[in-house]
């Protein structure tokens, strides 16, 4: 369980400024959650297969279809800058 000294240490690490009442409430809530984890550790899971997700993942693919497009003149009006007919944007990756 988390004592007052550990709560103060956690608050410093997280750079939280809490009143004494707020810190005590959060400490109590954290201890309650840790109690739930202790209960879960008591459960016998021998023979239970490990599971990454509670449901199976399934790719749902759709056909690529062309939808409505902006008129080029509208795009050019919305673009912050144009260069050689292309929209010019700030560099996001440094060149080597």
Domain boundaries, the chain: 4-41
Is the pLDDT reported for residue 16 higher than 90? yes
- Burial code of 1-28, b = ≥16 C-beta within 10 A, e = fewer? ebeeeebeeebeeeeeeeeeeebeebbe
Which one is predicted more confidently, 90 or 29?
29
pLDDT at residue 2 in the model? 95
pLDDT at residue 29 in the model? 97
Encode pLDDT of 26-75 as tens digits: 999 999 999 999 999 999 999 988 888 888 778 888 888 999 988 888 98
Which architecture characterizes domain 4-41 according to CATH?
Orthogonal Bundle (1.10)
pLDDT at residue 5 in the model? 95
Cα separations in angstroms, 81 against 16, 53, 55, 73: 43, 46, 46, 13
């Amino acid at each position: 369980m988390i004592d007052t000294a550990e709560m103060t240490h956690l608050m410093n690490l997280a750079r939280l400024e809490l009143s004494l009442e707020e810190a005590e409430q959060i400490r109590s809530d954290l201890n309650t959650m840790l109690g739930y984890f202790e209960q879960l550790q008591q459960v016998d899971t021998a023979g239970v297969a490990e599971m990454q997700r509670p449901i199976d993942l399934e790719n749902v693919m759709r056909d690529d279809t062309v939808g409505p497009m902006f008129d080029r003149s509208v795009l050019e009006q919305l673009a912050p800058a144009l260069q050689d007919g292309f929209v010019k944007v700030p560099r996001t990756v440094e060149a080597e």
